[in-house]
Amino acid sequence: MLRFARFLLALPLLAPAVACIATQPTVEEAIDQFGPVACDRLAACNKAGFTATYPNGQSQCVAKMKDAVKAQFGSDAMSKLDACTQSELDRCTADIRGAECSAFSDTSKLPESCKKC
């Protein structure tokens, strides 16, 4: 019973650490968030090129992003925590939506705010 009471007393101290973990997505979650936005932007900027490269649409585009990460870092990389926080990922996604088409020719040319993610 004493251990449980100590655990309850420690909970307020652990809350910030747990909150931090909860706001940092895995690599796969990050791609699931910014990937569709990047693919949509690419399609809007170059419909013919997008359709030629990804005939099955957005899902194929996002799948290729995931495949590229797995090829470069290994398949276990998808379950690791991403380098950026949720707020940084939100900024990246917003910047993708606002990117000029001239600066966004493919999904490897993400805005500067996305470089860490």
Q: What is the token pair recorded at 32?
A: 């699931």
CB neighbours (10 Å) of residue 17? 9
CB 54 within 8 A of CB 64: yes
Q: What's the burial of 24, exposed, middle or buried (CB within 10 Å: 0-12/13-18/19+)?
A: middle
Q: Report d(CA 69, CA 31) in Å as an integer.
A: 10
Tell me how many helices (H) and strands (E) the chain has.
5, 0
pLDDT for position 108: 73
What is the mean pLDDT of the segment spanning 11-40? Answer: 72
pLDDT in tens, 48-78: 999 999 999 999 999 999 999 999 999 899 9
